Structure 1
Amino acid sequence: MTMTTAPQYLSASTLTGDSVKNLQGESLGDLKDIMIDTTTGSIAYGVLSFGGLLGMGEKLFAVPWSAIEVDGQNKQLLLDVAKDRLKDAPGFDKDHWPNFADTTFATQVRDYYIR
């Protein structure tokens, strides 16, 4: 990924709702939530919202935070994934969140996004 100028510290509420784009400039949705590993205090996942209309039918994706880049200059987040690939990514809906502590889930998600 390309390095951009971004503040070193941002509040979660500053990032939540920000648009997420791939490196080709295509919209991939927006950041719905941030999942924090309470044992380490670090951000584990960004929850990306994609598709749907007015929150109906949207698909959510847990993306390892290490795969997301903050583009402070353009006030957006960057994810190096093709739009078509995101459509096939392991996801969930707003009423059925995964167990983020499940190592099988963590491995599946990490392997999908981190090359």
Structure 2
Amino acid sequence: MAEHITLSGTSIIGTQVKNKEGEPLGRIIDLMIDMQSSIVAYFVLAYKEQEDNQKLFAVPVEGITPDTANKQLIINISRNTLEENDGFDKDNWPLKSNSMFLTDMQSHYGSGKGLPSRPAHG
């Protein structure tokens, strides 16, 4: 049985994210909470550290494994997959109400296949 881990939002924001190969992918810059269901809908991964060249990706909670010993988060996705996908615009974040986007996002991260090609908004 997996260890139950509870983390605060402030401890997650700013945390480095790596893939299973140990490559740094970026940092978590925010988390989105679905106020209707009272759960975290997704984490926002900022890929690339330079703000002018930053891509944002919605990562479902199920797609992240905490590595508390090294104070980082692990996702099952390649650097190339992030490079090849658009992510989403910093001024137009995906909404929880868009269930098609979230189902696609969860299935891609959960299966390790990659990212949805282009998140829908609204």
CA drift at 1:104? 1.7
Higher relative contact order (CA 8 A, sep 6+): 1
Question: What SS does the aligned partner of 1:85 have?
Answer: helix
Aligned match of 2:46: 49
Paired residue for 1:59, among 55, 58, 68? 55
> In structure 1, what residue type is equivalent to 2:43?
G
Q: Which region of structure 1 is more displaced relative to structure 2, 26-35 or 87-96?
A: 87-96
Q: Contact (CA 8 Å) 2:47, 2:54: kept in 1 or not?
A: yes
Q: Contact (CA 8 Å) 1:52, 1:59: kept in 2 or not?
A: no
Paired residue for 2:84, among 65, 88, 92? 88
Establish whether residue 11 from structure 1 lines up as the match of residue 8 from structure 2.
Answer: yes
CA drift at 1:52? 5.3
- CA distance, structure 2, for counterparts of residue 74 and residue 24 of structure 1: 15
Aligned length: 110
Question: Relative to 1, partners in 2 of residues 1:90 and 1:64: Cα closer, same or farther, differing over 3 Å?
Answer: farther
> In structure 2, what residue type is equivalent to 1:92?
F
CA drift at 1:112? 2.1
Aligned match of 2:94: 98
Unaligned runs of at least 5 residues, structure 1: none
Question: What SS does the aligned partner of 1:114 have?
Answer: helix
Question: Relative to 1, partners in 2 of residues 1:67 and 1:46: Cα closer, same or farther, differing over 3 Å?
Answer: same
Question: What SS does the aligned partner of 1:13 have?
Answer: helix
- CA distance, structure 2, for counterparts of residue 105 and residue 89 of structure 1: 15
Q: Contact (CA 8 Å) 2:17, 2:28: kept in 1 or not?
A: yes
State the TM-score, normalized to the length of structure 2: 0.80
Aligned match of 2:35: 38
RMSD: 1.9
Output aligned runs, 1:99-114, within 5 Å.
99-114=95-110
